[in-house]
């Protein structure tokens, strides 16, 4: 998969890891050992008690980065919150990659790494329902490979600038997975992550997320490590717990307009309840998904794309469960309200509901095109068409029988809106 020049480039690119792996004295409870060709590091929680069980995270390094680094998972702040084992296998460049890039077998280094992992779970009090894997670059490729070849082995996984084959998606979908890639990565092109992600979307996989960093190249490990959910997201998963609750908090959405739309909402994150540990918020307008914002953001500012629109917010927790939608906001005629505009007959346009059709009559002549849009109550666009100037326009609405429809007419820069019930 990789050329000699590719690997030489990785040596340079991986030289500057400073947040995920930074220079610091290794903990007293960390040790190193070998198993055949495999050198590995193993961190034991400082106050390890073999009568308790602990989660374990397996960290897969990038190509040639076999140094023994101080990882964020060793920090007292993290270990106080989530005491865990950390396993760091290391493969020299003369041996091979973490990913075999085939459909049948793991690479030789990965086979050895997994053998050691299984041995460690027997030697120590490891909770095998809480095994996690995280990889950078070549290690990210190895993460994709493990999820494909050993589905169900890990409770959750993360890959930074890794990738895999699209036909691995069906097996990968069985493990909660957070993928990261830079849009301008010329070492591992984002396509090797996105082809898997797109196939996951196509097959309807729900336990996965892709974070793309526009304008970033290969070196995104520090960027990813600054995500607010970075150190705790994986640890929310436990294979022994099959069901997870949805967030219960109520989102109250408000907004203002001053040439730009400013949306604000309340914080519903609750650290004491796993269901209410909000991971990110999704912002929707009438066309669909508008933005995705991490849990530490409670506002969103943007320039409106039309003179009439609707907005709503939904929260997603660490377990991919979604909250109820917030209240709706309606943008019309340069104002934002919490209710659907009801005034329809204006100076230039009259809109009538004729049971199975909508009749739009121009009360004054116009030489400009007329745009007619129909929306459902949840903001979904049902119909959109531009008409040439005409005294009357008739829109067939028979397919929306027994529905509430919002009609919006845009004429000469002015927006006219009405709500009809087709019964």
Q: Which residues of the chain have pLDDT under 70?
A: 1-24, 340-347, 422-423
Task: Please list the helix, strand and coil fractions of the chain in percent, rounded to the nearest 5, in that order.
Answer: 20, 35, 45
Q: Which residues of 131-160 are buried (b: 16+ CB within 10 A; e: fewer)?
A: bbbbbbbbbbbbbbbbbbbbeebbbbbbbb
C-alpha count within 13 angstroms, C-beta hemisphere, residue 179: 32
d(CA 256, CA 341): 16
Domains of the chain: 4-236 (3.40.50.1820), 253-337 (2.60.40.10), 349-421 (2.60.40.3080)
Q: What pLDDT, on a 0 to 100 scale, did the predictor assign at position 342?
A: 53
Nearest to 137 by CA among 23, 220, 15, 225: 220
> What does the pLDDT read at residue 407?
87
Q: Is 368 helix (H, G, I), strand (E, B) or coil?
A: coil
Structure tokens given for 422: 């087709």
Residues 175/151, Cβ–Cβ less than 8 Å: yes
H or E stretch including 78? helix 76-81
Q: In what order do the strands lie in the sheet with 261-265?
A: 253-257, 261-265, 299-302
394 alpha-carbon distance from chain centroid: 42
pLDDT score of 16: 36
* Tens-place pLDDT, residues 351-409: 888 778 888 888 877 888 899 998 887 778 889 999 988 888 999 888 887 777 888 88
Residue 401: predicted pLDDT: 75
In sequence order, what are the beta bridge partners of 292? 282
Assigned token pair, 181: 């890639």
Place of tokens 């023994």: 68
Residue 263 CA, distance from chain mean position: 21
What's residue 13's pLDDT? 35
Q: Which of 136, 129, 87, 130 is nearest to 112 (CA)?
A: 87
End-to-end CA distance of the chain: 61
Question: Would you say the C-alpha torsion 266, 270, 274, 275 has a positive or negative sign?
Answer: negative
Report the b/e string of 191-204 with b at 16+ CB within 10 A: ebbbbbbebbeeee
Residue 261, φ and ψ in degrees, nearest 5: -95, 130
pTM: 0.74
The pair of structure tokens assigned to 165 is 């084959």
Radius of gyration of the chain (CA): 27
What is residue 322's DSSP assignment? B
> Phi and psi at residue 118, in whole multiples of 5°?
-65, -35
Alpha helices in 124-220 (DSSP H): 138-149, 169-172, 191-202
pLDDT the model gives residue 345? 43
Q: What pLDDT, in 10s, does the model give residues 181-232?
A: 999 999 999 999 999 999 999 999 999 999 999 999 999 999 999 999 999 9
Handedness of CA 274, 276, 280, 285 (dihedral sign): positive
| DSSP secondary structure letters along 348-363 | SEEEEE-SSEEEEEES
In this structure, what DSSP letter does residue 73 have? G
């Amino acid at each position: 998969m990789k050329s000699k020049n590719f690997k030489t480039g990785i040596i340079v690119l991986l030289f500057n890891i400073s947040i995920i792996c930074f220079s610091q004295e290794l903990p007293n409870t960390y040790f190193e050992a070998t198993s055949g060709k495999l050198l590995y590091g193993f961190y034991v929680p400082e106050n390890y008690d073999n009568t308790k069980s602990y989660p374990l995270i397996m960290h897969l390094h990038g190509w040639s980065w076999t140094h023994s680094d101080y990882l964020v998972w060793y920090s007292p702040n993290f270990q106080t919150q989530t005491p865990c084992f950390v396993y760091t296998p290391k493969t020299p460049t003369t041996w091979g990659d973490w990913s075999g890039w085939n459909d049948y077998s793991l690479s030789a280094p990965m086979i050895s790494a997994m053998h050691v992992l299984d041995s460690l779970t027997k030697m120590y009090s490891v909770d095998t329902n809480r095994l996690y894997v995280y990889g950078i670059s070549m290690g990210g490729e190895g993460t994709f490979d493990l999820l494909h070849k050993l589905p169900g082995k890990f409770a959750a996984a993360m890959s930074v600038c890794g990738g895999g084959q699209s036909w691995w998606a069906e097996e990968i979908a069985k493990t909660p997975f957070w993928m990261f890639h830079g849009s301008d990565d010329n070492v591992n092109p984002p396509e090797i992550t996105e082809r898997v992600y797109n196939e996951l979307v196509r097959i309807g996989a729900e336990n996965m997320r892709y974070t793309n960093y526009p304008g970033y190249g290969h070196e995104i490990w520090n960027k990813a490590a600054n995500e607010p959910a970075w150190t705790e997201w994986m640890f929310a998963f436990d294979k022994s717990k099959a069901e997870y609750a949805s967030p219960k908090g109520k989102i109250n959405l408000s907004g203002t307009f001053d040439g730009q739309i400013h949306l604000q909402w309340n914080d519903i994150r609750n650290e004491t309840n796993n269901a209410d540990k909000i991971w990110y918020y999704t912002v929707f307008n009438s066309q669909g998904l508008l933005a995705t914002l991490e849990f530490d953001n409670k506002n969103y500012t943007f320039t409106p794309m039309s003179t009439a629109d609707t907005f709503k917010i939904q929260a997603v927790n660490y377990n991919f469960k979604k909250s109820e939608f917030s209240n709706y906001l309606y943008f019309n005629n340069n104002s934002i309200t919490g209710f659907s505009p009801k005034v329809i007959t204006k100076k230039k346009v009259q809109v009538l509901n004729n049971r199975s059709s909508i009749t739009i009559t121009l009360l004054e002549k116009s030489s400009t095109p007329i745009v007619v849009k129909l929306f459902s109550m949840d903001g979904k666009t049902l119909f959109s068409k531009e008409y040439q100037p005409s005294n009357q326009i008739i829109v067939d609405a028979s397919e929306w029988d027994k529905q509430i429809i919002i009609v919006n007419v845009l004429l000469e820069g002015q927006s006219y809106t009405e709500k009809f019930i087709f019964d």
